Chains A and B, each alone.
Chain A
Amino acid sequence: MRHGYFRRRGAAARITARTYVAFVLVFLFAPLLIVVIVSFNPTPNMNLEAGLSLRWYEQVARDPLVVAAFGRTALAAVCTAVISAVLGLSGALGAVRLTRSRWRTAVFTIPLIPLAFPALLFGVGLATFYHAIGVGFSIWAVIAGHVILAMPFVFLIMGAALERFRFSLLEAARDLGAGTLTIFRTVTLPLLRPAILGAMFLSMAISVDEFVIAFFTAGSQQTLPLVLYGRINLGVNPGLNAIGSVLLVMTMALAFLAARSSVLELP
């Protein structure tokens, strides 16, 4: 397993390395753990001896604003996933048919632009766009923006899946007399199912977690991160940790599901 380079590292070097890695990981996870721990704390102030309580979760669950925002977040996640899956799959199926390498490079490069593009710029751009065409801000305006963020991932995941796809199966189906639609329904779709599901879970995770686009385009139809933001500005309220934990669990669960569908492959 282990190749020669650095094989002779001594115990001291390994201990230093382990300490460094541990420090970085603790630093990365500390804020997440704190939010979850404090959310189960019965007193408003951080107090680890006070025991556990679901008080803040009950308070948050009875809050109509939070419940409505939760519903909108779920709606945005599902719609983003469905729309970006359809568009991304369509694009990827078209892209793998291209034979000219110049076209292929363009088609696989352009979707990467929104990934590195600052959300702030895209957010204000969308806001001015909706203003210019006279469309009001709403959850649908947010979804339209989230699709732009999620579609590149779907496209890339689908492109990678199609790389392994055995196109000879389609020819076999055609030789056996199946029509284009039948082939798509009975061969292409079932074979691509894990990739499609994984891409949809990832899209949902992106949408649930997204804040900046929603901030500029949601108007009064706030999503969960927007409610969290609004209340942070109002001052510290322990219920916020419960909202934060719910958001955390949602995104992490979706990311985990996406990873299980072998989307987040380790290099």
Chain B
Amino acid sequence: MTLATAVLSRGVEDSLPPLRHRARERRGHISTAMLLAPPTIYFVLLFVVPLMVLIAYSFYTYQNFNFTAKLTLSNYAQALTNPALRDFYFRTLKIAFGVSIAVVAISYIFSHILMYILPRAKRILYFLVLVSLFGGYLVRIYAWRTMLGRDGVVNSFLVSTHVVSSPLSFLLNSNFAIVIALLNFLIPLGVLPIFSAMQNISPRLLEAAEDLGASRIRIVRTIVLPLTTRGIRAAFAFCFIATMAEWVTPQLLGGPLDQFVGNQILYEFGETLNWPLGAAIALTLIASVVVILGVIFGLLRLVTRS
């Protein structure tokens, strides 16, 4: 999941090994298929088929904490029209937008500084960001409880330095905590594609622009930004998808009114055992994410072209 953004931002075409024209290619057809078969079969069996089963389950009928293979559309009707669920959707959408934009902005400035202002330290700084990726997903979220709780590190510090007289309660079990934790694990994933996109810009291009008298702002606007849109898109899409389908962070750091769509999916699977409805919500979620990203990127293309 983590290095994916780097690969995606570089683009598949660029990362393909070079074509090999070899004389014995014709003879190799059978063994090529034999080599490709095991991972393909595994992938189909344990990735494609499970998703097919999920789709099938989303049409099942739920009754009395049980479900049968009687096909119905009512799960989707419920997933799309339930007003309580709509609140979950809008809440998740709002945070996903805010967090993704913030991650892109923070990562962009960070990558820009690394590339052009502190280039001598860029390798070690980039390596540190990569290392922080392996900080453990759950451990990191848990750490924010230690940091932001009533007796947590932040409150102890604020009280002992007399910045506040009593511990702040809004730090934990709030939207604030969710956003902080999401930023914390998504920033490295934002830096990865944006930084690698900037690495691919030829320094000569920038030198040429500078020699021709372009201001720094103009260089950023007309060269750096257009050449890094792929990285920005990858970073945004990744953060958006990850946040829209997130449930652990709101579960552990949010209050009861801060839960995401993911928590509702979990609730249907774990508590009411209404797997068909849970599956329908999950599939509606992924479909809406694809549509929203498509619309955003389509609009962006229109704006940048004009």
Contact = CB atoms under 8 A, between A and B. Distances in A.
B275 A14 contact: no
Interface string B95-127: 000000000001001100110111110010111
A47 B204 CA distance: 54
B135 A32 contact: yes
B38, B50, B144 interface centre (most CB from chain A within 10 Å): B50
A1 B116 CA distance: 11
Interface string A20-49: 110011011111101100100000011000
Given A149-B1, A247-B136, A159 B54 contact: no
Nearest to A249: B136
A215 B265 CA distance: 14
A67 interface: no
Contacts of B12: 105, 108-109, 112
Contacts of B245: 118-121
B44 to A, nearest CB: 10
B136 A248 contact: yes
B118 A17 contact: yes
A120 B247 contact: yes
A163 B16 CA distance: 8
Contact of B134 (A86, A91, A209): A209
Interface string B29-50: 0011111111110110011011
A265 to B, nearest CB: 10
A62 interface: no
Contacts of B227: none
B47 A148 contact: yes
B206 interface: yes
Interface stretch (B70-78, B151-159, B161-169, B295-303): B151-159
Secondary structure of the B contact surface, majority rule: helix
Interface in B266-304: 266, 269, 275, 278-279, 282, 285-286
Contact of A212 (B117, B131, B204, B248): B248
A125 interface: yes
Interface residues of A, number: 104
A17 B139 contact: no
Interface stretch (A51-59, A74-82, A94-102, A189-197): A94-102
Contacts of B85: none
B33 to A, nearest CB: 7
Interface residues of B, number: 113
B108 to A, nearest CB: 12
A215 to B, nearest CB: 8
Nearest to A99: B25
Contacts of A17: 113, 117-118
A35 B137 contact: no
Contacts of B125: 21, 25
A31 B35 contact: no
Contacts of B211: 4
A25 B204 CA distance: 30
B113 A87 contact: no
Contacts of A38: 146
Contacts of B132: 25, 28-29, 32
Contacts of B110: 20-21, 24
B286 A160 contact: no
B199 interface: yes
Contacts of B49: 129
A104 B19 contact: yes
A188 B12 CA distance: 25
Nearest to A163: B17
A232 interface: yes
B188 A124 contact: no
Contacts of B244: 118
B106 A24 contact: yes
B184 interface: yes
A20 B28 contact: no
A225 B248 CA distance: 12
User: What 4 A-B pairs have minimum CB-CB distances, sorted nearest first?
Assistant: A94-B35, A115-B4, A118-B245, A31-B143
Given A6-B117, A119-B1, A152-B4, 5 more contacts: A90-B39, A99-B21, A99-B22, A148-B46, A212-B248
7 contacts: A21-B118, A32-B132, A38-B146, A101-B19, A120-B247, A121-B282, A121-B286
